[in-house]
Structure 1
Amino acid sequence: MSWLSALALLCVLSFFSVEASIHQYAGERFGPKGNAFVVHGGSEGIYSSIAARNETDSPSNGDSFIRFEKVTFRRTKDSVNFTSGLVHAIIFEVEDRETIGGSAYGGQRAVCCTGDLAKLGVCTEGEVIHHPSSKNPSWPHVFGVSFNIDEEVVTLPSNSIQITKTGMYNLYFIHCDVRLKDVAVEGKTIWKNPAGYLPGRMAPLMNFYGFMSFAFILLGIFWFSQYARYWKEVLPLQNCITFVITLGMFEMAFWYFEYVGFNKTGIRPMGITLWAVTFGTVKRTVARLILLMVSMGYGVVRPTLGGLTSKVIMLGATFFLASEILELVENVGAVSDLSGKARLFFVLPVAMLDAFFILWIFTSLSATLNKLQARRMLVKLDIYRKFTNALAVAVIVSVGWICYELYFKSNDVYNEKWQDAWIIPAFWQVLSFSLLCVICALWAPSQNSMRYAYSDDGSEEFDKDDTNLTLIKPSSLPSNDARAAPETRPLQGNNGVTNGDLEEDKTE
């Protein structure tokens, strides 16, 4: 793999990274990439402190920088008998990626200076090739240290690099000495934005979750006020909706405080992150189960799920487990350590279970609508049609957004659009909240709630054929007690007599 291909792969993987702005290195070993040995030190979007001051004219905005603190390189005791080449630290903005590496006579691009390139006088053999940026001659920043003979550990000088241009910055530790194949890096680097330590591509999410917390509070005020007013009319389905709203309020609050803590310290608060992930997973699981149960008519046109209860519970438990693992990997672990196939291994089960949910929901909705129409339950039919339309719109919008997301990521290999990346996860939160608002509007507690509930009279039985009713007329019986054939008459609809109003004819 060429150096640029490897660099592109690392940049793609770093998009999913959730490492803190304080990047710790605990003995990471250099791996071969092209003709160099590389450790990825970090990749974050950083806003320029100068631009931030110009936008706000506020002296409270701090500087943005990348600081090296006690970054050391350690080699084994068996390989201290020589003086090594330089071990470099290279920081570059993604637009300047072409300034790293070079090629001779149109050959394969290399990051380490080869003999052919050294003959051209463009670099020193055995060192990293780099050229000044055309837009900013002081970039990229390249510096390093070398091992003297019998020296086991060397330390990079403490250095703080000011960021004067907004962009996606990458840090790599690179060396070109094959004799240092076992060298490892230790220490930490600190990456800071003007407003705090929150990575640039995540910074807008802090305000977003604050807004979503406020939105859930407004929804909660509406729902709980209705719930308190008509608590005697509350249905089991409305209790489930109450549970989802409560979970959503906790989830949004936990995410907001998680980002606030991350922004202040540079390290993700593990406990809050775990709670936010778990509340979110439970909410998504319960929300899908509610959609499925509503589609089946539970609590509205049927009293129980019958034999489907165990299957519904099993599907919900499987979805919760798969989603929880995926969310923990994305938000707690360092996803940059996973290969693309490894991450796909976690995403595919969730996607397949979501597809199964959608298929089952719409299949159940179709059957429920047909039964409601056949039974002429017009009030419930109207609600279910509105629910079906809202759900169909949500699915269509979701498919469209997935296509846009794939397009966005495929055209942003190097994360140059990092300032807009927060919109992708935010959209799914807005969509699920909008669908929840629709459900709350359709099934809000009211004085008429019971007309949506299941009733055990004859008009609610789906499994009995009520289109005709057989009536035996005693007057038709002959005197010799022989039984005559029964006489039938059709059952009248809402404009005539109902099941409860039918009376047997009196004997003549």
Structure 2
Amino acid sequence: MKYSSATLVDGIVTLSLSRSASISVLDRFLTNNTQIQLKIFCHESSNDIKETQSQIKVEIRGRIGRVVGCLPLQSDASIATNQLTSKDSRDAQNLLQTFYDNLWKQMEQRAFTMQQVNCENSIELDVDEYSNIKGPEKAAEFLKQGHEQMTINQQNNIHHSDATDQMIIKSNDEQLPLSSVLKKYPINRLRTWADGYYVIEIDQPVFIDSNTPELDIDIIVSMKNHHGGYITADEYPSLVFYYVMCGIYALFAILWFIWCIFYWKKLLNIQFWIGSCILIGLIEKLAFYVEYDNINRYGYNVYFAIVTAEIISCLKRTVLRMFFIIIALGYDIVKTHLGSLKLKLIFMGLLYFVVATIEALLRLNTKNDETNNKVLISRIPLAIIDIIIYYWIFTGLIATKRILYLRQNTVQLNIYRYFMSTLIVAVIASILFMIWSLKSHIFTTCITNWRDFWIDDAFWHILGSLIMLVIMILFRPSNNNQLNVFVDVFDHLDNDNNGEKKK
């Protein structure tokens, strides 16, 4: 169970069932009135079975549950089983089964039975029976044995949530008001009854004839939300967010292009850098939007599209960091060229891009990345490189401001003061956000704000966009381009150096 908008999940899933197989389970965040369709497909293992397949009837049963109160922490089961040795496999299975059983005890549940169908063709299943909603057997609580007790405030919040749920549920056997509301929809399809975290459990297939030969059955489960797409409830805000960000960066590009057209004769190299950063940012937002839109339209995520979007994101982050270093060093302001710093800058950029790409690929290909050692280890060198880059940026800004102060270049000095203040505010905001994110989603015993998961990724895009907007305003082209001052500065520096040599 992984709660993260960074990794998309399919809206159409194929589950393989057989007589000997155990139950199949699917978990998703779903919106209210999500339509869940089941489609059956039988696999024949011999020609004899194929000839009699049209006479074989099968029945599919299962249940749908919605977690009430706290969500099960995604690392509970994995941490518990990892502490057991290979000799304790039976204990691990028992522990997982206990965890799973306790999970269902804190859910609203509805059992369903699909209509009997022949295995001849691949057909969609209609609902034969769909029970009323039954309330949770116990209050939502942290499921892992031996965990510390929750704080008094968290318990009060859960009790308040349970009281609210009980007003709706009333009893396990009594029909709910929600059930009567669902009657206005067609009863031949499974539907959710509220926003939340759902678990769909499908039992072993029931063959009507006990003499039926062994068959393998695939159940194609499609979950279409009330927006008409297949994207899950926790990922839908990200789809809207990247759509809006595409529009914002398109406006950035248009605005910067117009500025450059008006003053194209006075453009400096740093302003071409700004245009390149805007273009890469626009491509990144388009890549993420295409990734989310594809799964919303077709129900399947394309691994190549996900990897491409992550690599483009790593490239954009690298280019932005290198650009900030260039500004901090005073390129096109107090320096005509970077000299020996150019090789150091290229090396640092390549190093950051490689490490960031490795971290992104490990994160995409690893379950429970918050507790996986490989992902955690890969983030350590990335954090160290970030610290070195930030140190380089701020030391460069201080040195450039000192030169501008000595040369009494008030205009450029004010620009650099605003830029440095912007970066300081961004660093403080980043630290505060990381503390909030860790407290809310990782170092917590009760997760209820699943609707805010998308903010974990969106914050960094918003922060980067705001910094880019500030840079656009500060270093925009103008009729009296005040950036073109480095010649006088270097003339004075050369004269001073020559004078010292003569002495």
* Interval containing the TM-score (normalised by the shorter chain): 0.5 to 0.7
Provide the secondary structure at the position in 2 that maps to 1:194. Answer: coil
- Of the three residues 187, 190, 194, the one matched with 1:165 is 194
- Of the three residues 20, 27, 32, the one matched with 1:48 is 32
State TM-score, norm by structure 2. Answer: 0.65
**Equivalent pair of 2:195/2:233 in contact (CA under 8 Å):** no
Q: Hey, what's the Cα distance between the residues in 2 that align with 1:26 and 1:321?
A: 39
Q: Hey, what's the Cα distance between the residues in 1 that align with 2:500 and 2:234?
A: 68
Alignment of 1:392 onto 2:429: no
Stretches of structure 1 that go unaligned for 5 or more consecutive residues are 1-10, 31-36, 50-62, 75-86, 100-107, 114-127, 145-156, 176-183, 472-485, 487-508
Give the structure, 1 or 2, with the largest relative contact order (CA under 8 Å, sep 6 or more).
2
- AA aligned opposite 1:435: I
Q: Give 1:110 shift.
A: 6.0
Structure 2 vs 1, CA of residues 110 and 305 (structure 1 numbering), >3 Å: closer, same or farther?
closer
Q: Hey, what's the Cα distance between the residues in 1 that align with 2:113 and 2:443?
A: 32
Structure 2 vs 1, CA of residues 169 and 392 (structure 1 numbering), >3 Å: closer, same or farther?
same
Provide the secondary structure at the position in 2 that maps to 1:416. Answer: coil
Give the share of equivalent positions with the same residue, in percent. Answer: 24
- AA aligned opposite 1:447: N
CA deviation profile, 1:216-262 (whole Å, cap 9, x unmatched): 12211211111111111111111111001111122222322322221
Structure 2 vs 1, CA of residues 273 and 17 (structure 1 numbering), >3 Å: closer, same or farther?
closer
Alignment of 1:408 onto 2:381: no
Q: Give 1:173 shift.
A: 7.6
**Equivalent pair of 1:298/1:304 in contact (CA under 8 Å):** yes
Aligned length: 384
Stretches of structure 2 that go unaligned for 5 or more consecutive residues are 46-59, 73-91, 115-124, 128-188, 205-215
- AA aligned opposite 1:443: F
- AA aligned opposite 1:419: R
Instruction: Report the counterpart of residue 390 of structure 2 in structure 1.
Output: 358
State TM-score, norm by structure 1. Answer: 0.64
Alignment of 1:370 onto 2:405: no
Alignment of 1:92 onto 2:65: yes
Provide the secondary structure at the position in 2 that maps to 1:170. Answer: strand
How do 1:90-489 and structure 2 match up within 5 A? 91-95=64-68, 136=108, 139=109, 141=111, 161-171=190-200, 188-195=220-227, 196-330=229-363, 333=365, 335-336=367-368, 340-410=372-442, 416-449=448-481, 451-455=483-487, 458-459=490-491, 461=493, 464=496
Structure 2 vs 1, CA of residues 271 and 132 (structure 1 numbering), >3 Å: closer, same or farther?
closer
**Equivalent pair of 1:296/1:368 in contact (CA under 8 Å):** yes
Structure 2 vs 1, CA of residues 237 and 26 (structure 1 numbering), >3 Å: closer, same or farther?
farther
Whichever of the two has the greater Rg, that structure is 1
CA deviation profile, 1:73-119 (whole Å, cap 9, x unmatched): x9xxxxxxxxxxxx9966432228999xxxxxxxx996769xxxxxx
What is the root-mean-square deviation in Å for CA atoms of aligned residues? 4.2
Instruction: Report the counterpart of residue 150 of structure 2 in structure 1.
Output: none
Instruction: Report the counterpart of residue 119 of structure 1 in structure 2.
Output: none
Instruction: Report the counterpart of residue 496 of structure 1 in structure 2.
Output: none
- Of the three residues 55, 58, 64, the one matched with 2:35 is 64
Q: Give 1:356 shift.
A: 1.9
Q: Hey, what's the Cα distance between the residues in 2 that align with 1:261 and 1:449?
A: 45
**Equivalent pair of 2:230/2:298 in contact (CA under 8 Å):** yes
**Equivalent pair of 2:62/2:200 in contact (CA under 8 Å):** yes
- AA aligned opposite 2:424: A
**Equivalent pair of 2:31/2:232 in contact (CA under 8 Å):** no
Q: Hey, what's the Cα distance between the residues in 2 that align with 1:185 and 1:349?
A: 47
Q: Hey, what's the Cα distance between the residues in 2 that align with 1:43 and 1:315?
A: 42
**Equivalent pair of 2:332/2:486 in contact (CA under 8 Å):** yes
Q: Hey, what's the Cα distance between the residues in 2 that align with 1:192 and 1:436?
A: 37
Provide the secondary structure at the position in 2 that maps to 1:306. Answer: coil
Instruction: Report the counterpart of residue 19 of structure 1 in structure 2.
Output: 9
**Equivalent pair of 1:210/1:256 in contact (CA under 8 Å):** yes
Q: Hey, what's the Cα distance between the residues in 1 that align with 2:372 and 2:480?
A: 53
Provide the secondary structure at the position in 2 that maps to 1:169. Answer: strand
Structure 2 vs 1, CA of residues 373 and 314 (structure 1 numbering), >3 Å: closer, same or farther?
same
Q: Hey, what's the Cα distance between the residues in 2 that align with 1:170 and 1:436?
A: 42
Instruction: Report the counterpart of residue 7 of structure 1 in structure 2.
Output: none
